[in-house]
Structure 1
Amino acid sequence: MTHIRRIAVHVDEPDPGHFYWVLMEVGDDASGWKELASAEEAYDMWLDALQAGVRALEGYASGERIGPRAAGDDEDANPVG
């Protein structure tokens, strides 16, 4: 099976009491992270923002058992090597 995408969720608070979820993914060379998606509106509570971010991350998964895969990855393909 192919590798799983390395996506992380965190919460940002640019202004006191205004929480935004952010999804970050490892870049092509694995030395840095790039923003993949973020909340359009603020949440009043850190936990609400985190939970919404986790739901957004779940949306990138092809299925509960395999998680998010890179574009073009075929979950039914024979493994290489």
Structure 2
Amino acid sequence: MAGALRHIALTVEEPEPGDFEWVLLEQGTQWAALKRAKRPVASYAKAMAAGLRALQEMIVDLDAGPREEEAPTQQVKRAQFGFGFGSLK
């Protein structure tokens, strides 16, 4: 079964007039930056499109969405002493 759906948002910032940078934010107890553009582009539309591509590249199955990784299941280890008790009468 897939892990829980991650809450990821895409936004665009304008640190300098005419310089647009996409930012992916993930919600935990607060929203925190997950990934961001390495350099600005000249339009909001280009930044938004680049951010959407970055988000899509993170997702293994676009039909299922971004999922948390499942914790590996651990099998219970039982002690074995090299002899059985089935032959005791």
Give yes or no for TM over 0.5: yes
How big is the shift at 1:2?
Answer: 3.3
Separation (CA, whole Å) in 1 of partners of 2:63 and 2:22: 24
Partner of 2:63 in structure 1?
Answer: 65
Residue 17 of structure 2: aligned partner: 16
Deviations 1:15-71 (A, max 9, x none): 0000000000002x3xx1010000001100100000000011111211121111112
- Contact 2:3/2:69, CA 8 A, preserved across alignment: no
Give the residue type in structure 2 aligned to 1:12: E
Identity %: 37
For the 8 Å contact 1:60–1:67, the answer to whether it is kept is: no
Structure 2 alignment gaps of length 5 or more: 73-89
Structure 1 unaligned residues grouped into runs of 5+: 75-81
Letter in 2 for 1:15: E
In the other structure, the counterpart of 1:7 is: 8
Bigger Rg, which one: 2
Q: How many residues align?
A: 71
